[in-house]
Amino acid sequence: MLFKKSIPQLLAEANESGEGTLQRSLTSFNLVALGVGAIIGAGLFSLTGIAAADNAGPAVILSFIIAAIGCGFAGLCYAEFASMIPVAGSAYTYSYATMGEFMAWIIGWDLVLEYALGAATVAASWSQYFSQFLSEFGIHFPQQLLHGPWEGGLINLPAIVIVCLLSMLLIRGTKDSSTVNNVLVIVKVAVVLIFIALGWSFIDPANHTPFIPANAGEEAVKAGTKGFFEFFASEDFGHFGISGVLRGAGVVFFAFIGFDAVSTAAQEAKNPQKGMPIGIIGSLIVCTLLYVLFSYVMTGLENYTKFAGDAKPVATAFAQTGYTFLNRFLMVAILAGYTSVILVMLLGQSRVFYSMSKDGLLPKIFSDLHKKNQTPWKTNLMFMVFVSIFAGFVPVSDLGHMVSIGTLFAFSLVCIGVLILRKTDPDLVRPFRTPLVPLVPILGIIVCVLMMASLPIVSWERLGIWMALGVAIYYAYGRKHSHIRKEYHDSQK
């Protein structure tokens, strides 16, 4: 049989208070800031240039809009669940209520890919930008301390330090962590707005012409000299034209990943029924507006062809304004972006494992709360060590696709969950309802599956290995210690 947690049981957990429970301290603004903190990172500053140069040209603006719509389908489904079941755990908790314990475990284990390995990947990149920022002031960090042993160095020390500092901040409490995140979000959003405001008057309309660069393959299809499937299999597909805009959407889609981390903090929201939909959908709307305006200004300041192979496309574009003294502020914004992403990823992972431990699928140590701060401090410490090892010693450049495939898998299951629960329990009170069901969830599933299909085969292989390890742990420990299974067997005696 499927061992599922009932909605009343989950709501009872959500209403628990007092010692041994998470504190409700996050406002709607805090939740929007959490979402923006997780979404706006290096993606805005690097993926925009890559997608413009290789795929869409100035029409990267359209790529951002398409990606946002695709992400919005999943976001609307998340918002329904988060308002209805305001419990820590995100997609893990939603899967437990709709698809049963085994699928819940699979998605909880899968979220380690998104949050823990995502934090490690970003921390390693943060280290490189931090070193570059120091060099602006004549301080040169030893290269041996910026790379792990598999990359010719000894250890990525700054990456380890930032993970440890942010983990200790999370142990102090969600409110303090949220305050720091709010400051980081304000800094990076302010710099993005400054870039847009100052760069707007320097836009050269010629750089936006043609808006969608021509694609030779598409022209051949229109002329009837090449078949569509021949074009689809050729190297022309995805390099400019309409196909380039769509491929660009796939590239920049991952700049939106992170909004789902808002749902992991549901049990710490003051008014989750109202705050969770605002936090999830609000952060997506804010980031979409910033992304579209940012990409419009960036491609207007410099011709998109100049961004090919450019590690700092934003600085290249901004140099056209003459305000080069602000390049350091751009670096500060990038560092703030990275820092807030790491913070929210570490927060999200600890809350998922907290929920899994409360259900008995993981040892009790993962749900032990600090007596004073009411945070899962032991989980924070464990992930501090785990993430630090990956960030400091392992080359994490290949882990980006693992993070992406894990995230898209989670998005797909949440969309499926909305369809299931609408069928099995249509009369359940839903403070926020996903519109146009079943269309929106189905479109969300289609978009996520298409994105997963576009990832390299090695990503699927690594996902398979990771899931096999997770299944082994579930049968060795989780299945035997599951609270809901024990309750069922006790009732049968």
Which of 265, 364, 270 is closest to 35 using CA atoms? Answer: 265
163 inside domain: yes
Q: Dihedral through CA 298, CA 304, CA 305, CA 311, nearest 10?
A: 40
Helix, strand, or coil (residue 156): strand
Q: What's the start-to-end Cα distance of the chain, in Å?
A: 17
16 inside domain: no
Query: What is the number of alpha carbons within 13 Å of residue 104 lying toward its C-beta?
Result: 29
422 inside domain: yes
96 inside domain: yes
Fill in the DSSP letter of residue 482: -
Question: What phi, psi does 156 have (nearest 5°)?
Answer: -90, 85
**Is 264 within 8 Å of 88 (Cβ atoms)?**
yes
The C-alpha angle with vertex 114 and arms to 484 and 187, in degrees rounded to 5, equals: 120
Structural tokens at position 17: 């208070």
Q: pLDDT at position 89, please?
A: 66
Q: Report whether pLDDT(469) > 80.
A: yes
Q: pLDDT at position 388, please?
A: 92
- Number of folded domains that form the chain: 1
Quote the mean pLDDT of the chain.
Answer: 83
pLDDT tens column, 114-148: 788 888 888 887 887 888 888 888 888 888 888 77
Handedness of CA 338, 119, 34, 448 (dihedral sign): positive
14 inside domain: no
439 inside domain: yes
Q: Report whether pLDDT(59) > 90.
A: yes
Structural tokens at position 1: 């049989």
Structural tokens at position 306: 């100049």
Which of 148, 187, 150, 201 is closest to 392 using CA atoms? Answer: 148
- Largest pairwise CA distance in the chain: 79
The pTM of the full predicted model, rounded to 2 decimals, is 0.77
9 inside domain: no
Fill in the DSSP letter of residue 475: I
Residue predicted with more confidence, 438 or 149: 438
pLDDT tens column, 404-434: 777 788 888 889 989 998 998 888 888 889 9
Question: Between the CA of residue 251 and those of 335, 352, 395, 437, what are the distances in Å?
Answer: 22, 27, 22, 28
Q: Dihedral through CA 271, CA 273, CA 279, CA 284, nearest 10?
A: -170
Handedness of CA 187, 189, 193, 196 (dihedral sign): positive
CATH of the domain at 431: 1.20.1740.10
* Confidence at 61, pLDDT banded by 50, 70, 90: very high
* Confidence at 482, pLDDT banded by 50, 70, 90: very high
20 inside domain: no
Fill in the DSSP letter of residue 220: H
The C-alpha atoms of residue 334 and residue 43 are separated, in whole angstroms, by 10
**Is 242 within 8 Å of 218 (Cβ atoms)?**
yes
Q: pLDDT at position 415, please?
A: 92
Residue 414 is part of which domain span?
25-487
pLDDT tens column, 310-354: 757 877 888 888 887 777 777 887 888 888 888 888 888 888 888
**Is 91 within 8 Å of 326 (Cβ atoms)?**
no
